[in-house]
Structure formats: structure tokens, C-alpha cells
Amino acid sequence: MSQLNRYLRVLGVFARNSLIRSMMFRANFILESISNLAWVVLNLGLYVLLFSYTRQIGSGWTEYRYFVFLATLQLINSLVEAFLMPNVEEFSELVRSGDLDFALLKPIDTQFLVSLAKIDWSALSNFIFAGCLLVFALVHLDYLPSLGVALLYPLYIACGVVILYSLMIALAATTVWLGRNQSIYDFWFYITNFSRYPMEIFTGPMGAPLKFICTFLIPVLVVVNVPARILAKPLTAESWQLAVFALLATVVSLAAGRWLFNRSIQSYRSASS
């Protein structure tokens, strides 16, 4: 417990320093927040327009159910973009410049340090908007989630963040061997695009194989689909199976990302060597 408290205090210092740094350039912070919100609002407007022509997307994703899906997507993405992406994006530069040496000398877990040292507070504007959209959609649902489901929802939001982070840190770790891996790191953006859509739309000779790969091999489809489905739709046997699998995928993804990161650190040669 003392170790956990220590890391929480360090995370608090990171958060405070990042906030101070952001407030030094208030105009830039405000513009970034507005820019992030504008993209989310425009994306929402696209689906509002789409639902003026159709009653549902895929199987059972009616307008307000799909708004729950969109809100869940933005909640997860905003947490990843605020806490994790600013740091993992810089990992390759730490390796290239040799600044990773200084991180390795710190008396703290290296993965924790390189993953959470900076926080982009402007990205959390999307989190607030997504929370408001979620409440709005739930009020208009024809289905009332139970208290147990409501309590499970934050757990699966956290699972989605962990799965995306594990994929991100695993790809970033390849920098140690490849030197510059921008094309591989871009793969993270390409593959996570699949998490933006309900898995029910992946059917047919092309969709079914993609659904299998992005669910069981690279589990990005469960990132948003599982929490959105358990909250927006009546629970079925398939929903529970996916929920159990999402927990397993989270543990396996985190362990695999941790293993690959540690292997890359063991292969790392400092700038002075």
C-alpha cells in the first residue's frame, strides 16, 4: 500500500506540473480545448444527420443507443489522449536522443515514468462533453440499465484504456530495435479505427475475418463495444461472454505490453555506450 501511495503522489506531481505548464500558455490551452470539442461536435453532427435517414445502424443500434456508443468512444479516447499519448509518442525521441538514460536512473518504474510524465489537460474537454452526451442519451433510452451494469461500466472503460495503452506501448517499444518506427506507430491509429464502430457491422466475406482478428487477435473491437453494449442494450448471453473475454483480453494485453517493454529496455544501449 505504501508503494501504491508513493506512485499516486508522483502522479499527482506530474498532474500539477502539467497543469502549471498548460496555464503558462492559456490562449493555446483554450484554443486546443475548443479544437478538440469542435472535432467531437462535428463528428456527432454527422451521426445526427445519418439518423435522419435511417432508424438504426447495424443490429439494434438505434439513435440514442448509438449516442451511448459515441459517448463511450470519446470517454476512452479522451483519457488515452490526455494521460498516455503525449508520453508514448515521445518514447522514440527519448531513445534516439539518449534521454532515456535519465529515465532509467530514476528510482521509479521506467514504464510508469515514460507513460505518465505529461498530461494534456486540454484533451479532457472531450471527456466532459462525452459525459454530458452519455447522460443525455441514457435519459432518452427505451431501456434502463440496472445498478450493477452502471457499476460495471467504469470498469470496462478502464479496460478499454488499458488495451489501447498496451498496444501503444508495445509498438513504441520497438523503437529500441528499429531506431525510428513511425510507420509501425502509425499502425496503432489504423488498427484502432476499427474500435470506432459497432462490431455488428462487420459481416460478410470481408467483415467476418476482420471481426475475428480485431476481437480475438488484436482486441480493439471490445474496447468500446463491450462497455457501450452492456449500458445501452439489454444483456444477453453473448454480451456476458464478450464482457468476460474483455477482462481476459485486458490482463493478457497488459502483460504482453509489459513484457515487450521490459525486453526492449534490456536491449537498450545508452547514448554513452
Cell (9 digits) for 227: 462497455
Highest mean pLDDT among 114-128, 153-167, 170-184, 197-211: 153-167
**For position 253, what pLDDT does the model report?**
96
Statement: residue 243 has pLDDT above 80: yes
pTM for the model stands at 0.92
For 200-234, b/e burial (b = at least 16 CB within 10 A) is: bebeeeeeeeebebbbeebbbbbbbbbbbbbbbbe
d(CA 62, CA 272): 59
Q: Beta strands of 101-154 (E only): which ranges? A: none
Cell 536512473 belongs to 105
d(CA 5, CA 188): 32
Sequence-ordered list of residues with C-beta below 8 angstroms from that of 168, at least 6 positions apart, any chain: 80, 84, 85, 88, 188
The per-residue pLDDT of the chain, averaged, comes to: 88
Statement: residue 248 has pLDDT above 90: yes
User: Percentage of the chain surpassing pLDDT 70?
Assistant: 96
Statement: residue 273 has pLDDT above 60: no
Highest mean pLDDT among 50-64, 72-86, 190-204: 72-86
State the angle between helix axes of 124-139 and 26-50 in degrees (0 to 180), rounded to the nearest 10.
Answer: 30
178-226 pLDDT, tens digit per residue, is 766 666 667 777 878 888 889 988 888 888 899 999 999 999 999 999 9
Statement: residue 1 has pLDDT above 80: no
d(CA 185, CA 170): 9
Decide if 166 contacts 260 (C-beta within 8 A): no
CB atoms within 10 A of CB 104: 13
Cell (9 digits) for 196: 470506432
**For position 76, what pLDDT does the model report?**
95
Cell (9 digits) for 217: 487477435
d(CA 6, CA 204): 51
DSSP 8-state code for residue 58: T
Task: Report the pLDDT averaged over residues 142-146.
Answer: 82
Decide if 243 contacts 230 (C-beta within 8 A): yes
The count of residues in the chain is 273
Decide if 115 contacts 173 (C-beta within 8 A): no
Statement: residue 135 has pLDDT above 60: yes
